[in-house]
Amino acid sequence: MVKPVLPTPTGPYPVGTVSVYLEDVSRRDPWVGDVPTRELMISIWYPAAVSSGPRARYLTRVESAEILAAWQVSIAPDALSSVRTNAFPDAPLDPGLRELPLVVLSPGFTRPRATLTSIGEDLASHGYVALAIDHTYETVATTFPDGRVAAFALGHGFARTPEFWHKVKTGRARDVSFVLDQLLGSNPPWAGAARLAPERIGMAGHSAGGAATIAAMLADERIRAGSDVDGSTDPLIPDTGLDRPLLFLGRDGQYSPGDGPAADTWARDWPLLTGWKRWMVVAGAKHHSFTDLGLLADQLGMPLGATTSGLRTMAITRTYLRAFFDQHLCDAPRAPFDHLGADHPEVRSCVPA
């Protein structure tokens, strides 16, 4: 069987990574009533000082099996546990870097944080710290350091009502604020946190994680710029608007103006975005094309119906997100966002009527 691989990061820095366990003792878990605290796992990718050694594990066998079971495909259940990543676990942070920008990543509903690894690794290779969160019980499986596995808990008994999705997105916003409190506090759980620039924090998410980005920005002014990648939104933005930069990035045919209910949520929010804003769609992409699952499905012979390859859509996603955060979190833009179109003919800018 082909051993699947993630695309090589495009920046000059080797990438280190670490997984961190966090526990919010101030609140009960919002989904499982008998869990007295909110437990979270996060992955951090950062520019490292070394470029050799074993690579970080992508998914556990249990997590791989749960994802592939949901897809109902005839592939070995552990196929995604053998994915080759590009990051070196627990590598030392590059000692010459200070005031590092931070980008928080939130995955799609049921998807583990690992599915955004290609984005996290690429940002880190360009001098960012990227951090992805497993929103416990919303993902297929979350493995804690002591070996416990928190399985998906939102099946039967949780109707997919507007109230349910509102709870998902606002609950994720609370997760994000808690993680930022921990990293920026007096006793951070990661030694590299001391080199973060608190005024250079952004967020991006896919699907429910993308919609949760808006919820998090509204709840936490430390998030200076955000991107919703292929996620329909709730009516959260107040009439006074959201004045920080926001990028909509989605699939053509689903998120172009007039395409239907999902695109209508972006059109509703558009006039309430009073700062820098862009609405971009990618031709030939499918929902999972914006995550690792699109390119891994191609390698494993599981076509998702996309006419633009998963590898190409991931390259577009990484380029546009990085250019967006370069422009809004860094002192000087390295690749001005509005100059990307010539090299990316699949991408179209939209302005709703």
Q: How far is CA 206 from CA 51, 98, 131, 189, in A?
A: 29, 28, 14, 25
Number of domains in the chain: 1
Note whether residue 205 is domain-resident: yes
Note whether residue 10 is domain-resident: no
Note whether residue 3 is domain-resident: no
> Which residue(s) pair with 347 in the sheet?
282
Non-local CB neighbours of 5 within 8 Å, separated by 6+ positions = 83, 84, 299
Instruction: Outline where the chain has alpha helix (H).
Output: 61-71, 117-125, 162-184, 208-219, 261-269, 292-299, 310-329
pLDDT of 140 reads 93
pLDDT of 157 reads 81
**10 Å Cβ neighbour count for 217?**
25
Bridge-based pairing of strands 15-24 and 38-47 is antiparallel
CATH of the domain at 266: 3.40.50.1820
Cα–Cα dist 196/342, whole Å: 34
Nearest-5° angle of CA 309, CA 311, CA 317? 105
Q: How many CA atoms lie within 13 A of 296 on its CB side?
A: 28
Residue 153 structure tokens: 């808990």
First to last CA, the chain: 49
Instruction: Outline where 54-161 has alpha helix (H).
Output: 61-71, 117-125
pLDDT of 272 reads 98
Which of 215, 228, 110 has the alpha carbon at shortest distance from 166? Answer: 215
pLDDT of 1 reads 61
Note whether residue 196 is domain-resident: yes
Cα–Cα dist 28/30, whole Å: 6
> Which residue(s) pair with 103 in the sheet?
130, 202
**10 Å Cβ neighbour count for 70?**
12
Residue 296: burial class (beta carbons within 10 Å; 0-12, 13-18, 19+): buried
pLDDT of 250 reads 98
The string of DSSP letters for 267-333 reads HHHGGGB-SSEEEEEETT--GGGGSHHHHHHHHTT---S-SS-HHHHHHHHHHHHHHHHHHHHSSS-
Which of 275, 231, 258 has the alpha carbon at shortest distance from 351? Answer: 258
pLDDT of 304 reads 85
Phi then psi for residue 125, to 5 deg, are -65, -15
Spell out where 66-169 has E strands: 88-89, 100-106, 129-134, 141-143, 149-151
Q: What is the pLDDT along the chain (353 residues), one digit of tens a residue?
A: 678 999 999 999 999 999 999 999 999 999 999 999 999 999 999 999 988 889 999 999 989 988 888 776 778 888 899 999 999 999 999 999 999 999 999 999 999 999 999 999 999 999 999 999 999 999 999 999 999 999 999 988 899 999 999 999 999 999 999 999 999 999 999 999 999 999 999 999 999 999 999 999 999 999 999 999 999 999 999 999 999 999 999 999 999 999 999 999 999 999 999 999 999 999 999 999 999 999 999 999 887 899 999 999 999 999 999 999 999 999 765 668 888 988 999 999 998 86
Residue range of the domain that includes 129 = 15-349
